[in-house]
């Protein structure tokens, strides 16, 4: 019977050789009770795994002149724990990501409506999100861009602990600016 040299590959591109697929002649063997058997032959390591009713898994590949590190484990449990660790890591990464929210209004928007929008933006900023604020011009309003710029400054004055990330910029018929939490109010 021909031996398959095909490794099993996890989602994070880690390659684990299991049992007879381990290519090295000698391995550093660690059994299920975390006892280090040192560098032993692959046949003896496979025998230890068989005696415990488990599989021999190469967890660290060969580096330089050192032997690869193999553990005697239940392979399905090993895969499950790796997948669980990956999902937890991805969830943590998603939660810590900065999200971008967007608010739009016109240069002629009433102050009361701006206050409502300011409360929304303040809650976004308190949640450590960035907010893209856009003033949308329509028709002849384009000739009075200074009114839109004044509207943006008035809007920022309504917010606590907020600052422009850059100066307002025109993109077509929209004047946009990014707002974030002030650096002095960011809690580490």
Q: Where are the domains of the chain?
A: 9-88, 98-185
Q: For the structural domain made of 98-185, what CATH number should be given?
A: 3.30.110.10
Q: Report which DSSP code applies to 7.
A: P
Q: Could you count the other beta carbons within 10 Å of the beta carbon of residue 156?
A: 16
The residues that bridge with 136 in the sheet, in sequence order, are: 174
pLDDT at 88: 92
Q: Does domain 9-88 have CATH number 3.20.20.70?
A: no
Closest CA to 122 of 170, 174, 182: 182
Q: Between 186 and 135, where is the model more confident? A: 135
**Is pLDDT above 60 for 1?**
no
CA 49, 65, 55: angle at the middle one, nearest 5?
15
Q: How does pLDDT run across 136-150, given as a tens digit for each residue?
A: 998 888 888 888 888
55-64 residues labelled b (16+ CB within 10 A) or e (exposed) = bbbbeeeeee
């Amino acid at each position: 019977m021909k031996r398959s040299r095909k490794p099993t590959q996890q989602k994070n591109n880690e390659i684990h050789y299991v049992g007879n697929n381990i290519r090295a002649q000698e391995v550093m063997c660690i059994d299920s009770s975390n006892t280090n058997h040192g560098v032993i032959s692959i046949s003896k390591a496979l025998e230890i795994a068989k005696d415990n009713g488990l599989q021999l898994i190469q967890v660290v590949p060969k580096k330089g002149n050192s032997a690869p590190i193999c553990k005697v484990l239940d392979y399905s449990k090993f895969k499950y724990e790796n997948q669980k660790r990956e999902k937890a890591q991805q969830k943590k990464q998603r939660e810590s990501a900065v999200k971008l929210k967007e608010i739009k209004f016109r240069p002629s928007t009433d102050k009361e409506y701006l206050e409502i929008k300011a409360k929304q933006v303040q809650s976004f900023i308190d949640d450590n999100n960035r907010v893209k604020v856009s003033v949308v011009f329509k028709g002849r309003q384009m000739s009075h861009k200074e009114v839109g710029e004044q509207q943006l400054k008035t809007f920022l004055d309504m917010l606590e602990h907020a600052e422009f990330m850059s100066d307002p910029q025109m993109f077509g018929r929209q004047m946009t600016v990014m707002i974030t939490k002030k650096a002095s109010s960011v809690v580490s």
